[in-house]
């Protein structure tokens, strides 16, 4: 029986995710997501329900990208949520994954923050600056606003320039309430607090000047621990919209962000995935991280920003790289002890000098450009680019096939 997929990207918004189905980026990610499953996977709310296998990825595979994606019982949702369970297309069939309440408990941004505090993962510059507000507090606006003002008054001057209230349950940065100058906009907050209460509350924190966006992807097995799938650098627009990933792979298919603090990033992110497993979560997940400019201008790693307790675009990128690995090794001669660079783009403008087509042209026969457009329909240019550097780089000792012990 073929896998049945519910592409509820944006499911954190409750029923509102259906409004995003026509968004080109959402349709693209949903189509590429289906390529991770065994052939014949059917996407609900899509016509036709099955995607076309991209010729550039080689022969149609017989199995899923990872064994844990084989023969998933019931319907597989991007995010297992109460709304997904109640969806008319799910129609009472079981939903693959843990109960939605268990997912929501660790998907909540406050969970990752609590782990970061407990494990002392917050960088020194941010310790004591992140304030957690629950939904009930926002039902009493005067008291909530007064508490925010007290928190901001205690921040150091460098942190008060720009700040944000981030919904505890949200996706793609939606729903943030910005502020600046260490003062809250009382009128704007009064209008936003009911909406933030519906999203579980919010975190109040400084708006950081990012110099890199990173993520680490995991699979949490129900009974056998946590496995690291990849670490990645995220490519974002100036407004914070995700457009793709970059990093490095070796001949074993291990995926690295290539950031100088790779090992610290992976080790600290794993603590969050292990904590989620201890709370009964299982399935794919990703820990977001970033590098920001600190008060003295130095680059600081924040290894834990939030946990996405669901499939992510990072899961998709890692799975697509696994699908392409045989062709990469064959055509670029990727050998043991080497790494090559990769970039993934959801939609690549051929006229963009920083785009994949231009980069492939500069690399010549040391590049392999793989089009994924057949899977997502006309008008899109989703692509993977692999480029061989001039020098060999030794991989690190950690394997993404070795479980991280609980």
**Which residue in 264, 400, 253, 265 sits closest to 340, CA to CA?**
253
Which residues are within 8 A (CB) of 406 and not within 5 positions of it... i.e. 6 or more apart?
225, 226, 274, 277, 278
The tokens for 361 are 């042209």
Which residues are within 8 A (CB) of 352 and not within 5 positions of it... i.e. 6 or more apart?
358
CA distance 286 to 97: 15
Please state whether the predicted TM-score (pTM) of the whole model is above 0.85. Answer: yes
**Three-state DSSP state, 202:** strand
Beta strands 201-206 and 177-180, pairing class: unpaired
| Helix, strand, coil percentages, rounded to 5, for the chain | 35, 25, 40
**Domain chopping of the chain, boundaries:** 4-106, 110-206, 210-404
Per-residue confidence (pLDDT) for residue 30, from 0 to 100: 94
Per-residue confidence (pLDDT) for residue 282, from 0 to 100: 95
For residue 78, CA distances in Å to 72, 103, 123, 285, 381 come to 13, 12, 31, 11, 22
Per-residue confidence (pLDDT) for residue 71, from 0 to 100: 67
**Which residue in 111, 88, 107 sits closest to 99, CA to CA?**
107
CA distance 128 to 122: 9
User: With contact defined as beta carbons under 8 Å apart, do 231 and 215 qualify?
Assistant: yes
DSSP class of residue 169? S
CA distance 187 to 231: 41
Question: Mean pLDDT in runs of 10 for the chain (406 residues)?
Answer: 88 85 88 94 90 93 93 88 91 90 97 98 96 96 95 94 93 86 90 94 95 97 91 85 93 96 97 97 97 95 97 98 96 93 88 83 92 84 89 37 37
- The domain 210-404 is placed in CATH, from the list 3.30.470, 3.30.70, 3.30.450, 2.60.40, at 3.30.470
Per-residue confidence (pLDDT) for residue 406, from 0 to 100: 34
CA distance 275 to 59: 39
Per-residue confidence (pLDDT) for residue 357, from 0 to 100: 87
């Amino acid at each position: 029986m073929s896998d049945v997929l519910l592409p509820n990207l944006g499911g954190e918004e409750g029923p509102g995710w259906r409004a995003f189905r026509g968004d080109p980026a959402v349709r693209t990610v949903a189509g590429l997501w289906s390529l991770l499953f065994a052939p014949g996977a059917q996407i609900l709310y899509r016509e036709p329900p099955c995607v076309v296998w991209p010729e550039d990825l080689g022969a149609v595979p017989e199995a899923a990208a990872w064994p844990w994606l084989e023969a998933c019982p019931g319907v597989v949702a991007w995010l297992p949520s109460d709304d997904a369970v109640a969806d008319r297309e799910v129609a009472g069939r079981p939903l693959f994954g843990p109960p939605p309440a268990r997912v929501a408990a660790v998907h909540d941004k406050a969970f990752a923050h609590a782990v970061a505090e407990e494990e002392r993962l917050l960088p020194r510059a941010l310790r004591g600056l992140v304030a957690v507000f629950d939904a009930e507090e926002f039902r009493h606006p005067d008291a909530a606003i007064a508490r925010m003002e007290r928190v901001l008054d205690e921040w150091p001057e460098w942190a008060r320039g720009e700040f944000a209230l981030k919904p505890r349950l949200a996706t793609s940065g939606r729903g943030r309430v910005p502020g600046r100058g260490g003062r809250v906009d009382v009128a704007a907050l009064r209008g936003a607090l009911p909406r933030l209460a519906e999203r579980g509350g919010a975190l109040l924190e400084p708006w950081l000047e990012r110099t890199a966006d990173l993520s680490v992807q995991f699979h949490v097995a129900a009974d056998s621990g946590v496995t690291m799938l990849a670490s990645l650098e995220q490519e974002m627009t100036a407004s914070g919209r995700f457009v793709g990933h970059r990093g490095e792979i070796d001949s074993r298919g291990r995926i690295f962000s290539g950031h100088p603090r790779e090992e610290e990033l992976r080790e600290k992110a794993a603590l969050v995935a292990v904590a989620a497993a201890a709370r009964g979560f299982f399935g794919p997940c990703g820990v977001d991280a970033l590098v920001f400019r600190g008060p003295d201008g130095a680059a600081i790693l924040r290894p834990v920003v939030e946990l996405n307790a669901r499939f992510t675009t990072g899961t998709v990128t890692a799975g697509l790289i696994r699908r392409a690995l045989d062709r990469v090794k064959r055509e670029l001669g990727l050998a043991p002890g080497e790494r090559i660079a990769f970039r993934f783009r959801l939609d690549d403008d051929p006229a963009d000098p920083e785009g994949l087509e231009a980069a492939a042209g500069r690399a010549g026969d040391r590049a392999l450009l793989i089009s994924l457009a057949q899977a997502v329909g006309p008008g899109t240019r989703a692509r993977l680019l692999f480029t061989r550097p001039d020098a060999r780089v030794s991989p690190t000792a950690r394997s993404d096939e070795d479980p991280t012990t609980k």
